[in-house]
Structure 1
Amino acid sequence: METEGVRGWPSAGPPLNEAMPPDSSPAAATAPDLSKSPPDLLTLFIAFAKMSLAGFGGVLVWARRGIVDHHKWMTADEFNETFALCHFLPGPNIVNLTFVFGSRLRGIPGAIAAFSGLVGPPALIMVVMGMLYHRYGEIDALRRILSGVACAAIGLMLAVVFRMMTPLFKRRDVIALLVMVAVFVAIGVLRLPLPAVLLVAIPISIAITYWVKREAA
């Protein structure tokens, strides 16, 4: 059931102070009630700056680790639900996540602080790296190094995908896993167009979730 978060923003999933289903992992522990004492703007900026600067392999890996495991601002389920919402919105997923998360805690200033921390430091670094690559990019050793970095990045992304799947396995949510596998096969194996798959998968997922919750009630 949708609840109202800080500054009138709807929160993704259950309230932050609501107990989650039993789970032995630290990430699934109940998150603190941030509506009473949300982190200040500087804390948000620094936290997302650290995530972006450590974002080897994609910031999503480090965003989940920082938000769920380190700061415990969200539970694993809440992060998955919020990221799912951001995944279906236009624009980069992790950027959408910073706006939704920051505004949920501190309104528009919070969204700006989180976004600035995410984008600011890497932008400065990439300007410098781009200048260096423009001058030394033809060096063969550098090309081999970048190929190795790409392999490591893929490994990190797969790792965070499995971490995000953990709550589904813990709850033994067979229907959700079947929907996930079906979408993966449609897009990754059959190479069907992403918009078409989403237009079919989203209504089906919503209908199944509604039916399951209705039966459980």
Structure 2
Amino acid sequence: MHDTPHDPTQTKRPDLPLLELFLGFAKISVTGFGMILPWARRLIVEDKKWLTADEFNETYSLAQFLPGPNVVNMSVVFGSRMRGPAGAAVALLGLIGPPALIATALSALYAIYGDVDVLRRILTGIAAAAIGLMIAVIVKMAEPLLRKLLAPAPLVLIATFLTVGVARWPLVSTLLVLAPASIALAFWWQRR
């Protein structure tokens, strides 16, 4: 027997207070310097247990498929899923409000001190740490997919990596082919 596919837009949690939703996304945004996906996953899946790892991947997949910044889309989709339109607005505000204030203050300081050599070396170190965090979250997100080795998901993951990462095919062309193929494979897998 196969798991029933989960619709990442359907679960509502009226017991989740809007303030907690706002504070959760505010925490994600102010602790995730530059690369907030790892922090979003940690808070949503591991700390708060608002979603399972599979539900997070499904929700993030939908957010990634939409135009615009992935994590911004994630906040709107997740907030809407938890508390409807009010949840979407609150999660979005929590995600972009605090960093907008911080970025405004820091950009004023950078305009004054941006040419200092020590600052450039610090920013290089921060970039390396951000890349390490992204690799860690990719491994965590891939784990639920790779547990099902004979399912279509790992095959699509590998095909995507090979076409975009190795062969350097354009992302849009790859998505236009692999997205329908992935949907068809998932549908076939559930029906077999």
Whether these two folds match at TM > 0.5 is yes
SS in 2 for 1:171: coil
Paired residues, number = 189
Contact preservation (8 Å) 1:58, 1:153: yes
Match of residue 137, structure 1, among 114, 118, 126:
114
* Structure 1 residues 94 and 173: alpha-carbon distance in aligned structure 2, compared to 1, 3 A threshold: farther
2:122 pairs with 1:126: no
Q: Distance in 1 between matches of 2:123 and 2:112?
A: 16
Contact preservation (8 Å) 1:2, 1:12: no
- Counterpart of 1:95 in structure 2 is 72
Structure 1: segments with no counterpart, 5+ residues: 4-10, 17-33
- Where do 4+ consecutive residues of structure 1 move more than 2 Å? 169-175
Match of residue 62, structure 1, among 33, 39, 46:
39
Alignment of 1:98-109 (within 5 A): 98-109=75-86
Q: Distance in 2 between matches of 1:52 and 1:173?
A: 37
Q: In the alignment, residue 185 of structure 1 is paired with which amino acid? A: L
- Counterpart of 2:157 in structure 1 is 180
Match of residue 167, structure 1, among 135, 144, 165:
144
Q: In the alignment, residue 94 of structure 1 is paired with which amino acid? A: V
Contact preservation (8 Å) 2:151, 2:189: no
Q: Distance in 1 between matches of 2:130 and 2:164?
A: 21
* Structure 1 residues 200 and 137: alpha-carbon distance in aligned structure 2, compared to 1, 3 A threshold: same
Q: Distance in 2 between matches of 1:213 and 1:174?
A: 10
Q: Greater shift after overlay, 182-191 or 144-153?
A: 182-191
After superposition, the CA RMSD in angstroms is: 1.7
Give the structure with the larger helix fraction. Answer: 2
TM-score by length of 2: 0.92
Q: Distance in 2 between matches of 1:207 and 1:169?
A: 19
- Counterpart of 1:41 in structure 2 is 18
Q: Distance in 2 between matches of 1:126 and 1:173?
A: 45
Overall identity of the aligned pairs, in %: 51
- Counterpart of 1:51 in structure 2 is 28
SS in 1 for 2:147: helix
The offset of 1:173, in angstroms, is 4.2
Q: In the alignment, residue 79 of structure 2 is paired with which amino acid? A: G
Q: In the alignment, residue 163 of structure 1 is paired with which amino acid? A: K
Structure 2: segments with no counterpart, 5+ residues: none
Match of residue 87, structure 2, among 89, 110, 131:
110
The offset of 1:169, in angstroms, is 2.5
- Counterpart of 2:127 in structure 1 is 150
Q: In the alignment, residue 64 of structure 2 is paired with which amino acid? A: H
Contact preservation (8 Å) 1:103, 1:111: yes
